[in-house]
């Protein structure tokens, strides 16, 4: 008994399943572009505002200045909490004295 497989149909099915699996992972989340204030970052990380200001002063956390106010890109804060040495954070010239 010989099994016949339509290769193009099989490839189409595999591609569709892969695309369905990847869609949620590559979907753009507008919240990831959010800029947080010192207070919202402190609330997000569950720390005191003074802790946030200390990290800004010592350049140990990714931030941007908007006028005179520090703002924190949520996507970079999320990345920083996972790995503060991630190459994508090199634009901030973080002054990280100790490595794990």
Q: What is the DSSP secondary structure assignment for residue 61, as one 8-state letter?
A: S
**CA-to-CA distance for 72 and 74, rounded, in angstroms?**
6
Along the 100 residues of the chain, how does pLDDT read in single tens digits? Answer: 677 778 888 899 999 888 877 776 566 666 667 899 999 999 999 999 999 999 999 999 999 999 999 999 998 999 899 888 877 788 888 776 544 4
CATH fold for the domain made of 31-92: Arc Repressor Mutant, subunit A (1.10.10)
**CA-to-CA distance for 59 and 79, rounded, in angstroms?**
16
pLDDT of residue 35: 94
E strand intervals along the chain: 35-36, 64-66, 69-73
**CA-to-CA distance for 49 and 47, rounded, in angstroms?**
7
pLDDT of residue 55: 94
Mean pLDDT of the chain: 85
pLDDT tens profile 34-59: 899 999 999 999 999 999 999 999 99
């Amino acid at each position: 008994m010989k099994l016949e497989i339509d290769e193009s149909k099989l490839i189409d099915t595999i591609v569709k399943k892969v695309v369905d699996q990847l869609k949620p992972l590559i979907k753009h989340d507008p919240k990831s572009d959010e800029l947080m204030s010192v207070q919202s970052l402190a609330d997000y990380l569950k720390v005191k505002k003074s802790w946030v200001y200390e990290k800004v002063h010592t350049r140990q956390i990714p931030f941007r200045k908007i006028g005179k106010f520090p703002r924190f890109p949520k996507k970079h804060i999320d990345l920083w909490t996972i790995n503060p040495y991630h190459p994508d954070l090199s634009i901030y010239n973080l002054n990280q004295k100790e490595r794990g």
